Structure 1
Amino acid sequence: MDFDSTVLAIIIGLSVFGLVRVLDGPTIWDRMLGFALFSPKVIVATVLIGIIINRTYMIDVAIIYGVLGFIGTIMIARFVERKGDV
């Protein structure tokens, strides 16, 4: 196992904590925190997968996921702030 694969395995292992918080969080704020923990790790994992398989378009996928993650966080915060009205 080379360095890139080892780092990818560690990132995937760490992202489990954020995913557990998203799925098991008792409040919406815990779920938002879990999403905020999970999203950057998915971006890093996507870039690492792109490096491992030698495909540069994976960086574009990571950038798009980052933008969508940011917009998703803003929309959830807006939903909670207005108590259900988007």
Structure 2
Amino acid sequence: MVYFEAFIWVLLLTTSVVLYRIIRGPSPYDRMLGVNVIGTKTIVILVLIGYVFERPYFFDIALLYAILNFIATVIIAKYLESGRICE
């Protein structure tokens, strides 16, 4: 269990490094990528918490969050490419 807790702390530490890319990113695509990376790390943390505490509903929450993260990334990429969301 100590390993999982250490792994979660490492993920949180690397998330703070990604925040630099979001704030100082040279382009909107870098910022979008940073937000997507934070979303992915959040999914991994949710799965680890569900495994460590033996709570299966965390896996469902992680799956839902992954779907929302993917849809948001596609919408933002489409907006950045064309300037409009609906065509």
Which residues of structure 1 form unaligned runs of 5+? none
In the alignment, the residues of structure 1 paired with residue 38 and residue 25 of structure 2 have an alpha-carbon distance, to the nearest angstrom, of: 13
Shift of residue 52, structure 1, vs aligned partner = 2.6
SS at match of 1:55: coil
Aligned position for 2:59: 59
* 2:17 alignment partner AA: F
* Alignment TM-score, normalising by the size of structure 1: 0.85
Identity %, equivalent residues? 34
Is the 1:21–1:31 contact (alpha carbons within 8 Å) kept by the matching residues of 2? yes
Shift of residue 25, structure 1, vs aligned partner = 2.3
Is the 1:15–1:42 contact (alpha carbons within 8 Å) kept by the matching residues of 2? no
- Confirm or deny that 1:43 pairs with 2:43: yes
* Alignment TM-score, normalising by the size of structure 2: 0.84
Once the two structures are superposed, the pairs formed by residues 10-29 of structure 1 within 5 Å of their partners are 10-29=10-29
Equivalences, count: 85
In the alignment, the residues of structure 1 paired with residue 19 and residue 65 of structure 2 have an alpha-carbon distance, to the nearest angstrom, of: 16
Is the 1:22–1:31 contact (alpha carbons within 8 Å) kept by the matching residues of 2? yes
Shift of residue 61, structure 1, vs aligned partner = 0.6
SS at match of 1:80: helix
Aligned position for 1:72: 72
Which residues of structure 2 form unaligned runs of 5+? none
Shift of residue 60, structure 1, vs aligned partner = 0.6
